[in-house]
Amino acid sequence: MSTKPVRLEWNQSDGAGSGGVKPVLQIKDLHVSYYTDAGRAKALDGVSLDLFPGEKLGLVGESGAGKSTMALAMMRMIKPPGRIEGGQVIVDGVDLVGLSNEDMLKARLSRIAYIPQGAMNSLNPVLRIGAQMMDAIKAHGGKDKAAMKKRCIAALEAVDLRASVFENYAHELSGGMKQRVCIAIGVLLEPKVIVADEPTSALDVVTQRQVIDTIDRVCEQLGAAVILIGHDMGLMAQFVDKVAVFYAGRLAELTGVYQMFTDAKHPYAHALIDSLPNLENKGHFSGIPGVAPALLRLPSGCAFHPRCSQAMEICRTTRPKAQTLGNHIVECHLYSEPTESR
């Protein structure tokens, strides 16, 4: 089913507002599938959203919800047996899905950049950090070695690393330093959109905060929009302006971060918030019944209905359409037009 992108008019208290500014990122009806011997798995099923310059969006959801697939699809890095089957990823007016491979190679780092989940596996162990950074600039037409080195060192210093790291190998750096190098590479060519895929998952809590603060500061200096993918709702609450909740490859709810934690609409978003430990109920942990569905065998209708305490008959047969409720976009029949089912 196709979904239309819905633009929300954010209150100033909710983070970045549109203020007449055009979105720097528009994702329109994006579909990604993986073809296996067991059948077709829909990893993204008609996702649409907008992101404005300077905004920070958090993507949350259980494992397999489609968050990392979303990041890879935006970067045109989906590998067989997966493929992008439809939709657009428009960055600063350019549809990345329609670009040739050569043009997309140039768009990476210059228009959209990706900070990977595992910095330990992302850096070449036999090349110095500086050589890897220089290669990134050369791939985009850089030729003046002195100017390129100056830019690389400036990027390293921007993420609180010493200039001497330019001459280091990856194994000579700590986990946090490697992650900062990945951030420095990501901002080398001042992209419009930066996608950070669980950039703190392998780090201790102190280093996590330092890395997130670094991403926040550098992106603010660039005026870049940021997409942060992760499971840590507490981290989202501190960092992002708005939150998108994914479930089974679909966008369940999108709203400002304050509204998400105080007035979530979708039953799945409610369940995620309720599962967080809090001081009022010490020792009590609330989970979500059941398990996330396999993408090869998605339930009919609303994919969440087998686990939903508020499921109606229509939920079992018909996928809900995106509804705009103030500052919320919600895919849920609870907010559809009144029916006999309700």
* CATH code of the domain containing 325: 3.40.50.300
Q: What is the pLDDT of residues 236-254, one digit of tens each?
A: 888 899 999 999 999 999 9
On the CB side of 149, how many CA atoms lie within 13 Å of its CA?
Answer: 10
Please report the pLDDT score of residue 279 as a whole number: 62
Cis check: omega of the bond before 5, within 30 degrees of 0: no
Q: What is the pLDDT of residues 322-336, one digit of tens each?
A: 999 989 999 999 987
Percent of the chain with pLDDT over 70: 89
Please report the pLDDT score of residue 329 as a whole number: 94
Q: What angle do CA 315, 317, 323 make, to 5 degrees?
A: 50
Please report the pLDDT score of residue 52 as a whole number: 94
Rounded to whole angstroms, the Cα distance separating 264 from 273 reads: 8
Instruction: Please give the C-alpha separations between residue 314 and each of 114, 188, 311, 336, in angstroms, as whole numbers.
Output: 39, 50, 8, 11
SS3 state of residue 163 = helix
At position 167, the amino acid (one-letter code) is E
Do the Cβ atoms of 50 and 227 come closer than 8 Å? Answer: no
Please report the pLDDT score of residue 143 as a whole number: 84
Please report the pLDDT score of residue 28 as a whole number: 96
Q: What is the pTM of this model?
A: 0.87
- Parent domain of 245: 12-111+193-203+229-335
Do the Cβ atoms of 51 and 219 come closer than 8 Å? Answer: no
Please report the pLDDT score of residue 2 as a whole number: 41
Rounded to whole angstroms, the Cα distance separating 164 from 280 reads: 48
- Looking at the structure of the chain, the number of domains it has is 1
Let me know if residue 184 belongs to a domain. Answer: no
Let me know if residue 6 belongs to a domain. Answer: no
Report the candidate in 156, 160, 121 with the shortest Cα–Cα distance to residue 136: 156
Inform me whether the pLDDT recorded for 18 exceeds 80. Answer: no
Let me know if residue 156 belongs to a domain. Answer: no
Rounded to whole angstroms, the Cα distance separating 19 from 69 reads: 31
Let me know if residue 216 belongs to a domain. Answer: no
**Residue in this structure with the two tokens 């609330």, named with its chain if needed:** 286
Q: What is the pLDDT of residues 42-66, one digit of tens each?
A: 999 999 999 999 999 999 998 889 9
Report the 10 Å Cβ neighbour count for 252.
28
At position 214, the amino acid (one-letter code) is T
pLDDT bracket for residue 204 (50, 70, 90): confident
Q: What is the mean pLDDT of the chain?
A: 87
Q: What is the pLDDT of residues 90-148, one digit of tens each?
A: 999 999 999 999 999 999 999 999 998 776 678 999 999 999 999 999 989 888 899 99
Let me know if residue 270 belongs to a domain. Answer: yes
Query: Both tokens of residue 174?
Result: 């700590």
Let me know if residue 17 belongs to a domain. Answer: yes
Let me know if residue 315 belongs to a domain. Answer: yes
Inform me whether the pLDDT recorded for 9 exceeds 70. Answer: no
Let me know if residue 99 belongs to a domain. Answer: yes
